[in-house]
Structure 1
Amino acid sequence: MSIYITALASISPLGTSLNEVWESYKNDAHLLQEKNIGNQKSWVAALSDEAKQEIETLKNSDLKYKSLDDTVLFAMYASRKALEQAGWTSKDNFGVNFGSSRGATALFEKYHREFLEKDKASTLSSPTTTLGNISSWVAHDLQTQGPEISHSITCSTALHSLLNGVAWVKSGMANKFLVGGSEAPLTPFTIAQMKALKIYARGADTYPCKAFDLAKDQNTMALGEGAAVIGIENGNKENALAEIIGVGYATEVLKHNISISSDAVCFQRSMKMALEGIDPDDVDVIVMHAPGTIKGDLSEIEAIKKIFCNKIPALTTNKWKIGHSFGASGMLSIELAIAMLQKQEFIKVPFVDYTEIPKSIKKVLINAVGFGGNAVSILLQKTF
């Protein structure tokens, strides 16, 4: 059974429309800014003022929405646009699967501060910070009666949402699924946690996040925010943006809480599964996870070398530009992959020297991995 992507929408530092996103990718400038987050300055990629106003308008459109966290509002905003693009209605009873690594971080921190000050919790502190309220609010907003699922599988969350949606559609239990990831991690405690791991960007280089720069001598991960969602359907769809022709997943035994093996065994396994029945030489581009850490970037490259022995595809990532948006990052990588398939143009990492770039792009592999060594690889194919 063929599974097609028939809708794609997002809200991120890149913009709120596919045209904006593409124009932003065509520009070699990064979107990271040094901002005060709590009492410390940190490199982050935040939504533009215009995008924030769009979220504020959504928040004020319904009294019930005023108490929701940005993770939920980002997901609702992107899902509305995707539904319109796909031409679905509530009568289609499509499924919704949204994931988030951290969930309602801003609200959780707010409510916890209040608890410490007053020794009691706010009435809405529980329902507005549960992970499940992302998909449930999206389903409510779009009035679908289909299944609604939320989960957190760290930084590969969004691609796990896609895996789950594909499984539902292939099983025949649903014909359509809205899948995505949302993250709003630009909060003091979240960034403090990343800094405690000693992986956060702290330099004043032209590019603060040096994702895919294997010569870097320090970790350079930076956080970004946003949400991205796709609509998937079965059957031969004339309006398809891309076809999903391979999915892979794997988990490896860890020696440390946050690290994977030096040659990323989990990625080797997930890529091999996604490529089943496909000649690796036919893959034109890989959108890497590449978080901007020394070990993370290098281990993924080593895994790619082991799977693509004859010809390494053109490699790219978007984290140098928009930071790492945790659970949403995989779907933002899917967005980049689809954009390259549509425009037939490879988006380079500006500080990486390329000996060759593809003249045509027919197949793109997307990678994501998270704490716990859980990797996902998705293979997309051009359909137009």
Structure 2
Amino acid sequence: MSVEGVYVAGMGLACALGNDLSSSVAALARGGVQPTPVAVSESVQWPVYKLPPQDGSWTERLERIVRNVAAQAGEGAGRSCPLFVASSSLDIGHMEREVQDLRLGGDLQDFAGLVARALDWQGPVFTVSTACTSALNAVLAGCDLIRSGEADEALVIGAELGNRFTVAGFGAMQLLSPESAQPFGAGRSGLVLGEAVAALRLSSRPARWRIAGGSNVVDGRNPSGTEAGAVIAMCHEALAQSGLGTQDIDLIKVQAAGSPVNDAIEAQALKQVFDALPPLVSLKSLIGHTLGASGAAELALLVACIEAGAWPLAGYAIDDELGIALSTQAPARLRNMLLNVVGFGGGHASLVLQDCTA
């Protein structure tokens, strides 16, 4: 039997701001934290928004953080529902530090197996690794299972833990800022990576936050950047699945990571979708670009900010030439939010999140 509604019944987050949602929101309200330099060679280092330090090996750290964020999201129906593990770097850090497999080989499901064992998971386990759109695509896959009646609940874990390989790769492509991330900023010079582990518990049972629809559009013409046509298509498809028009969207969580080119493409594409742009919000200047975890991490952090009455502020000058602005406060009306994520390989994903109490 199919069901109509899918809801976010619980959320958890560990990121550079803190080990849980409440401490993350508190740190955000204080102005955030500074990234930490990560050395990729003797003479090269890049800033990264790292998780708070913890003792133990890479695997022990992963297990501890995963259990923490899953507990924040609540038990729900238990550990027999589908588990979606979303990541871009997967277990590269484990291979760097513990296995010493410099080929960075292994099975695609190995990382999900580590996460499942940490949670003593009894249900089916899926890996979603579609670069930066991984977590959002995992949410969409979980929603499909619930809407089809194949599951009452699903748990999505988005995880990106530190490794030098990812930092070195982005640095070699000249995509990183040597100082700070400034999404849509006048002085933006590249993105800053971030670590995060987030949990979203999806359910068919009504809750405050409803996933009204979403989309995933792949356009590989620009495999390492944003494609305007795909941004336009993903927004229209997400709205169509939600049964909403552009005038119904009260807030857009943008992808903007600080890229001089990609930020401009996204801004121009959004202005083609919306006659009048809704308020915009960005989170990457506070937690960095958490790659495959970003869809879950940014959703959880944004919802926690809304519930706590806090608001993420940019703290830098916005580029006037883009013709946009980041909102300095929560919109007076906030019912329907569009959350956008863009990733390598031409992935463009969008989600409509609805506040059922508004």
Please give the TM-score of this superposition, normalised by the length of structure 2. Answer: 0.87
C-alpha separation in 1, matches of 2:58 and 2:268:
45
For 1:272, the aligned partner's letter is H
* Structure 2 portions without partners, runs of 5+: 319-324
Partner of 1:62: none
1:211 is the counterpart of 2:183 = yes
1:251 is the counterpart of 2:224 = no
What secondary structure sits across from 1:88 in the alignment? coil
Task: For residue 70 of structure 1, report the CA deviation from its aligned partner.
Answer: 5.2
C-alpha separation in 1, matches of 2:249 and 2:296:
19
Partner of 1:329: 294
Partner of 1:60: none
C-alpha separation in 2, matches of 1:209 and 1:78:
25
1:287 is the counterpart of 2:291 = no
What secondary structure sits across from 1:156 in the alignment? helix
Task: For residue 378 of structure 1, report the CA deviation from its aligned partner.
Answer: 0.7
1:362 is the counterpart of 2:338 = no
Give percent identity, aligned residues only.
24
C-alpha separation in 1, matches of 2:49 and 2:273:
32
Task: For residue 68 of structure 1, report the CA deviation from its aligned partner.
Answer: 2.9
Partner of 2:321: none
* Structure 1 portions without partners, runs of 5+: 57-65, 117-124
What secondary structure sits across from 1:155 in the alignment? helix
Higher-Rg member (1/2) = 1
Partner of 2:205: 235
Aligned in 2, Cα 1:138/1:110: closer, same or farther, shift over 3 Å?
Answer: closer
1:189 is the counterpart of 2:165 = yes
1:200 is the counterpart of 2:176 = yes
What secondary structure sits across from 2:289 in the alignment? coil
Aligned in 2, Cα 1:253/1:44: closer, same or farther, shift over 3 Å?
Answer: closer
Task: For residue 259 of structure 1, report the CA deviation from its aligned partner.
Answer: 2.4
**Aligned match for 1:88, one of 77, 97, 100:** 77
**Aligned match for 2:153, one of 160, 176, 181:** 176
C-alpha separation in 2, matches of 1:112 and 1:141:
18
**What are the residue-to-residue correspondences of 1:261-300 with 2, within 5 Å?**
261=227, 264-276=228-240, 277-300=243-266
1:149 is the counterpart of 2:126 = yes
Partner of 1:21: 24
Task: For residue 144 of structure 1, report the CA deviation from its aligned partner.
Answer: 3.9
The answer as to whether partners of 1:181 and 1:228 remain within 8 angstroms in 2 is: yes
Aligned in 2, Cα 1:113/1:142: closer, same or farther, shift over 3 Å?
Answer: closer
C-alpha separation in 2, matches of 1:103 and 1:334:
20
For 1:282, the aligned partner's letter is D
Task: For residue 133 of structure 1, report the CA deviation from its aligned partner.
Answer: 3.0
Q: Write the deviation string for residues 142-176 of structure 1: whole angstroms up to 9, x where unpaired.
A: 34432210121000101011011001111111110
C-alpha separation in 2, matches of 1:356 and 1:114:
46
**Aligned match for 1:46, one of 39, 50, 53:** 50
Task: For residue 344 of structure 1, report the CA deviation from its aligned partner.
Answer: 5.1
Query: Aligned residues, how many?
Result: 343
The answer as to whether partners of 2:95 and 2:101 remain within 8 angstroms in 1 is: no
Aligned in 2, Cα 1:19/1:333: closer, same or farther, shift over 3 Å?
Answer: same
Task: For residue 180 of structure 1, report the CA deviation from its aligned partner.
Answer: 2.7
What secondary structure sits across from 1:149 in the alignment? strand
Aligned in 2, Cα 1:274/1:143: closer, same or farther, shift over 3 Å?
Answer: same
1:6 is the counterpart of 2:31 = no
Task: For residue 318 of structure 1, report the CA deviation from its aligned partner.
Answer: 1.1
Please give the TM-score of this superposition, normalised by the length of structure 1. Answer: 0.81
Q: Write the deviation string for residues 310-336 of structure 1: whole angstroms up to 9, x where unpaired.
A: x21111111111111111111111113
